[in-house]
Amino acid sequence: MGVCGYLTVSWKCLVVLTFRLLFLLPAGLPVRSQGDSQSDNKVMENITVRQGETVFLTCPQGDVVTHTAWLNRSSILYAGEDKWSVDPRVSLVTLSQEEFTIKIENVDTSDEGQYVCAVQTSSRPRTTSVHVLVLVPPKIINLSKDLVVNEGADVTLMCQAGGKPEPSLSWKLISPSGDLGSEEEVLEIPSITRQKAGTYECTAVNDIGTDVQTVEITVNYAPSVSEGRDVGVTLGQKGVLECEADAMPEASFEWYRDDRRILNGFDGIDIEDLGQISKLMFFNVSESDYGNFTCIAINTLGSSNTTFLLYEVIEPTSSTLLQEESTSHLALTSSETFAIQSGPRTVQDGNSGALGIHTHTSNCVVFVLFLLFLLRV
């Protein structure tokens, strides 16, 4: 029992003992420990494999090999060409003078660990060990459900991911503010505002992959209506008052004429609700329609109102239009004023005797223009 200590039994010790028992090695044959300079216990580079893939375990042989085996921890998978493992994923690939190769298909995390190839030569045993590392792409396994909260509530989102190596996490609010800089499983949003509503993305990343999942947060808040803009309408024309409310959930609207509720379709007034906007539409504004109108937007969290004044606009008549036209010409240069201003006047004097005066005035105009022309030259 000089090979293995009484108290500490290493895996190598187990392997060697198993091997000796298995092939009933001659008792006199020396079995060397790890520290022995003459032993040949090689540690190969780690093999990294993705979950689900196939791993090949290769062990060099030699011309004087008598027995050889591949072990998973202390259990034998293959002894020579005899399969000891009952696992159908394990199979022999090559057993020759040069190498002894087995493969494990559809590798899982439980397969991770030390695999040992034990070789018995005519003189002494030899082991080659290899560590198989199984990598697992990230998978988000526990994510908060979509949420509906009131503005001001403290919100906590949870995102837990599995994978090997351990994935790193990040949280992002998809537009407009973007990256939230949190790399925790738990995202704390104290006193949430409406601007923080939206789609939250949790991303789990490791060396071999990425998983992304989203949580939707709806933030409810009481309506706020934009200030009403007074509207001027001419008698007999169409008129529209527009009330816009920002609210979540969407507000319902009520319209009032002073204290009286206005119902859709009465008194030539229609109410049209278009989501955030409600329109109060007059098809033919009458004298009695002028006045104050109040719009109230209501949802489960509250209400907001604004008042509009519908006022009368006097439409310009044909005579006022004519006046405006002639006065607008006064803006011309002084030398030309006389000539042009006389034009509309002559047209207005539309009686039969005017023809002579008209002709006379026209001649006068031509004469004045001629004089002006001479003076300039």
Examine residue 213 and tell whether it contacts ligand NAG (CB under 6 A): no
Examine residue 280 and tell whether it contacts ligand NAG (CB under 6 A): no
Task: Using the minimum distance from each CB to ligand NAG, give the nearer residue, 283 or 367.
Answer: 283
Question: Which of positions 143-172 make contact with ligand NAG (CB under 6 A)?
Answer: 158, 160
Stretch that binds ligand NAG, among 85-93, 168-176, 191-199, 209-217 (CB under 6 A): 85-93
64, exposed or middle or buried, with CB in 10 Å at 0-12, 13-18, 19+?
Answer: exposed
Stretch that binds ligand NAG, among 205-213, 303-311, 326-334, 345-353 (CB under 6 A): 303-311
The only residue of 39, 61, 72, 278 in contact with ligand NAG, by rule CB under 6 A: 72
Copy the structure tokens of residue 168: 């790193």
Instruction: Of 213, 110, 200, give the one whose Cα is nearest residue 164.
Output: 110
Minimum Å gap between C-beta 144 and ligand NAG is 8
Cα distances (angstroms) measured from residue 173 to each of 146, 202, 303, 309, 335 = 14, 9, 29, 42, 71
Task: Using the minimum distance from each CB to ligand NAG, give the nearer residue, 88 or 176.
Answer: 88
Q: CA-CA distance, 331 to 236, in Å (whole number)?
A: 35
Copy the structure tokens of residue 252: 């319902």
The only residue of 57, 69, 71, 90 in contact with ligand NAG, by rule CB under 6 A: 90
Q: CA-CA distance, 113 to 118, in Å (whole number)?
A: 16
The only residue of 8, 37, 38, 110 in contact with ligand NAG, by rule CB under 6 A: 110
Q: CA-CA distance, 191 to 32, in Å (whole number)?
A: 69
Task: Using the minimum distance from each CB to ligand NAG, give the nearer residue, 90 or 248.
Answer: 90
Asked if 59 and 127 count as a contact pair (C-beta separation under 8 A), the reply is no
Residues in the interface with ligand NAG (CB under 6 A) total: 25
The sign of the dihedral angle between the CA atoms of 101, 38, 67, 17 is: negative
Examine residue 71 and tell whether it contacts ligand NAG (CB under 6 A): no
The only residue of 51, 213, 224, 292 in contact with ligand NAG, by rule CB under 6 A: 292
196, exposed or middle or buried, with CB in 10 Å at 0-12, 13-18, 19+?
Answer: middle
Examine residue 87 and tell whether it contacts ligand NAG (CB under 6 A): yes
Using CB under 6 A, list all residues that contact ligand NAG. Answer: 45-46, 72-73, 77, 85, 87, 90, 104, 110-111, 131, 133, 142, 158, 160, 236, 284, 286, 291-292, 296, 303, 305, 309
